Every structure is written in structure tokens, then in C-alpha cells.
Amino acid sequence: MGSLDVPSLDEMLSRLEKKDQTNWFVAVMTCLLVVPAVAVLVGAILIYFAMTNAFVFFKFWEWFIIPINGSLPVLSYLQCIGVMFTVGCLKTPRIDNKKSEDIDQRKNIGGIFGMLCVPWIALSIGYIFKICFIG
């Protein structure tokens, strides 16, 4: 029968140090790659929402507000972006008291898809309203 090869204390400490160095390297690389990627993604989503909502506001202002009251100024697209940023600052965030395990993954995906589509659906409904009732 073969004898068990029991590592010495120095060998075990050496293995632990190598493992700690590997874990440290993985943690640093994760921070260097994941954190900027998430920041870029969040920034892109914020810009998308600001631009799409500003476009819808721009069109609604042009279609519905200017014809009613001609003395109001015509807003440029950049001014509409500023208005949307201002409105975004005034909105209070929705606080959801549900526990994270209660939230269904499909619900999250549906909510994100809905948020991406809502400005375009609103624009489509507004355009149909404009065509049918205003002319």
C-alpha cells in the first residue's frame, strides 16, 4: 500500500498564497472590465430615454400645442431634451417594497421591453389622433 503524501506546512501556505493572488487578480480584472461596461450601458440607456422622450415631446408640442396657441414659442429638439432632463429631475423614483426573490425574471424583461417601446407607442397613438381628429 502506498503512503499518503502529506504536504508540509510551507507547501500549504505557498498554495494558499498562489490562490489568493489568483483571486485578487480575478477581482481586479472584474472591476476593470465590468464596472466600466455597466457604466457605459447605464449611460447609453439614460441617453436613449432622454432622446426618445424628447423626440415624442417635440412632436407632440408641434402637433398639439402650437396649433392651439400660436403665441407659444416653437421648441427646438435640443430644448425638448433639456425639458425632458428637467422633468426627469422633478420625478420621484418609484420605491418597490417587494423582495428580490418575489420578482419574476420574465416580469423584469417585460418591464424593460415595455419601457423601451412606450415612447414609440405613444408617438404612434399621438400621430393617429392627429391624423384622425386634427387633420
Q: What is the pLDDT of residues 83-95, one digit of tens each?
A: 888 887 887 766 6
Taking only the tens place, the pLDDT of each residue in 13-60 is 676 666 666 677 777 778 888 888 989 998 998 888 888 989 999 999
* CA triple 101-119-50, angle to 5 deg: 85
On whether residue 75 sits in a domain, the answer given is: yes
Is 112 part of a structural domain of the chain?
yes
Residue 2 lies in a domain: no
In a domain, 4, yes or no: no
**27 in any annotated domain:** yes
Q: Domain range for residue 121?
A: 9-92+102-134
- pLDDT at position 27 is 75
The count of domains in the chain is 1
Which residue's entry shows cell 498562489? Answer: 18
> Mean of the per-residue pLDDT values for the chain?
80
Looking at the domain assignment, is residue 97 inside a domain?
Answer: no
- Rg of the chain over Cα atoms, rounded to whole angstroms, equals 28
Cell numbers standing for residue 83: 425639458
Q: Is residue 121 part of a domain?
A: yes
118 found inside a domain = yes
